[in-house]
Amino acid sequence: MKIKIVKIGNSKGIRIPKVLLHQTGISEEVNLEVKNNQIILKPVDRPARYGWNSAFALMSEHGDDKLIDEESLAVQSSFDDTDWDW
């Protein structure tokens, strides 16, 4: 893909298409490095489960936070209640 370099103040930059950002997981910050005469952009490492709180809140707003196996749980044996030490 060929992209033009544009002037941004005293610097220069490029516009990265949204689809490429989505494919790479890049959202707000990148790690930038130069290697073998190439500029390399990498997504910033995020902690495990990053964004889960907002995703679950959104699920709750849309009523998508219900158990998908609720019916099968209701008819399970009593093994967990009688034969298992919690």
DSSP bridge partners of 40: 33
pTM of the predicted model, to two decimals? 0.47
Q: Note the pLDDT tens digit of each residue in 19-45.
A: 998 888 888 889 999 999 999 998 888
Q: For position 28, what pLDDT does the model report?
A: 83
Phi, psi of 42 (to 5 degrees): -130, 145
In whole angstroms, give the CA distance from residue 13 to residue 9: 10
Query: Per-residue pLDDT tens for 51-73?
Result: 889 999 999 999 888 877 777 76
> In this predicted structure, what is the pLDDT of residue 48?
82
Tokens linked to 43: 């997504």
Give CA–CA dist 77/86, Å, rounded: 16
